Structure 1
Amino acid sequence: MARSPRNGLAPATAVLAGVFLSLAGFVWDVQWHTDVGPDTFFTAPHLLLYAGSAIAGLASLAVVLATTAGRRRGHPIDPTVGGRVVGVFGGAIAAPVGYLISGSGAASFLLYGLWDQWWHGLYGFDAMLASPPHVGLFLSITVTMVGAVMVFAAARRHRWGVVGTVAGTAFLVAFGVLTVAGLEALPLGAVDGVTVGVTFTCVVLVTMGGHVLDRRGGAIAVIALVAAMQAAFWWFAPWAARVYADAIGQPLREDTEGVPVIPAMIPMVLIVVGVLVEVLRRRPAWPTGAIGGAVIAASVPLQEAWVYQGGPPQVSDVLIVAAAGTVAGALAGSLGARFGEMLRVLAPKETSHA
């Protein structure tokens, strides 16, 4: 394993830490909306997720400014630091592509945050999770997370690059189940759009994680970290919502079930997809994705019935959503493999070491 360049690890770690804080803030915020309900702009979950985005954005900006200054002085640019450099604003700014993406997501997050503040000022308490500014915030942090994965994928020949790529992909899996929640409004008949969306997201990202690294175990490592976060957030989300509600004198909803919303949305059978990706990594990805998609989609109704202590789902409903998950999984498997290959290109064939 090659030694890590000193000038790449610190900003990459800051970006990764920032997106994790935003992920934790969103998990907390969603639980707050579910267990308590109304909130304002200046709540603890909001401040946590905004702080995370600010950290990621400032770290990205620092790298872009340093790269621009270095290029103007004629210094060689290390492509392992965020990937290949692209010119912005007619070449006036030189930005490593990974940090350009993560920084752009953080900047748009700030803009949507200002919109969210205006929204709260106009309507007061916000009891809805899927408000227009919230949707923009979801998409913005997703872009920042994608940029974080690109930053570490560019350094995947170094140990910290491998670890960061796995962590960034796992964060995307955990956060991705939230971004597809808006599919609930789509008129898809007997097919549950959220289940299909969760299936597609998980298959595409786990497959990507299995193809981006040079060694086996990438997909399993991603799933192991997702499972660890799922277990931690399972405890953290309802606990944080309850403690914060008590601290500011807000009552819990009478019908609250105390179920951790985001952790409960993460499929518990992802290990099946990970094993399939690892075993069949050298073969076409779409059959692997199709099988994994069918397994995930069929398991989601069963998982929901167990978590929320409801009755068993109808067999016909499970079969319908499993069929839709098979199609979505096939497409996701193919795309995930291609995304993994695209991320591999970010790392130079030969690296220079400090």
Structure 2
Amino acid sequence: MTSKTAQTSHQTIAQVVLEVLTYLLYIIVQFAISIVKTLTPYSLRTKKDIEGDVAVITGAGSGIGRLTALRLARLKAKVVVWDVNEEGVEETVKLIKANGGFAKGYKVDLCKREDVYRVAQQTIDEIGEVSILINNAGVVSGKTLLETPDHLIQRTFDVNSISHFWTTKAFLPAMMRKNRGHIVTIASVAGHVGTAKLIDYCASKFAAVGFDESLRLELDSGRYFDIKTSCICPFFIKSTGMFDHANARFIPRLNSNDVADEIVSAILYNRRMVVIPSHLSAAFVLKHVVPWNVYSSLSRFLVPDAHPEENSNKPTLPSFEKSSINKKAIDNNVTIKHRVLGTDVTEEERQP
């Protein structure tokens, strides 16, 4: 080996070592920043201003979607309600307008790609470019794999994950032009851990989690750092019509209002992954380090039946219960102080 070749080799090695040390320093700094952010109370964090932003929420005709829509409207965002349930859309719009917010509703079948693209363009033409997209709509079949009809499996994937591609492709270009926006994926703890009788549901939510992570990486690769994504992964939620009878031990079902609070918090504070309750994140790690028989028995012990037979004859789509507007509460401006966001929430809004 000539002296020139040896010198080149030594320079290459030195460069590689320098790059490795630089990256290790970057990792340490990022860990430090993450720890500081985690320990910083919300009252001291910078909160995003979404006044005037156009926010599309799928499945907002009832349940979590409606509660989230009411909160965003209170923060002065222009809320666009999408749902296949036309009556539910009208009711959500009515509730928002009664509280002084801006709302527009559209009937959309998320199982039909052409319908999604058509209504998306109509939304842009009539209201403006969308800067907040919340892929919230979800369905569950609640049967074992062999008991689940093919069309229900297809519907589960169409609504819970595939529709995210169509909605995001419709609204992302405008966000990219401005390098500003936020895309929220409502997934589930079931998007990280499997559960019996929820094979199609879990698989669709795993896909939703993967969609969010891959989209985030793609945006980072394109240096669109101001387009944020959030993935919300709640446990079973009460009062949505999906898991009202879920049989789970030790882990209580979640309150709909608390989940809606977390969704809005994720937008305002750019939180990437939100697991509710947060301690369940440990289960995601646990399943990779303990023997399968231990994990399997623990999972079956904690959730003996995610969808009991007593609920099998009930509608699997989130049910819509018609509610009236509490005129007195609105007129008297009866409010409850929001514990996380620092905004006022009416008594009527607290009802799922």
TM-score, normalised by the number of residues in structure 2: 0.31
Q: Which has the higher strand share?
A: 2
Flag the structure with higher helix content.
1
Structure with more relative contact order (C-alpha pairs < 8 Å, separation 6 or more): 1
Structure having the higher Rg = 2
TM-score by length of 1: 0.31
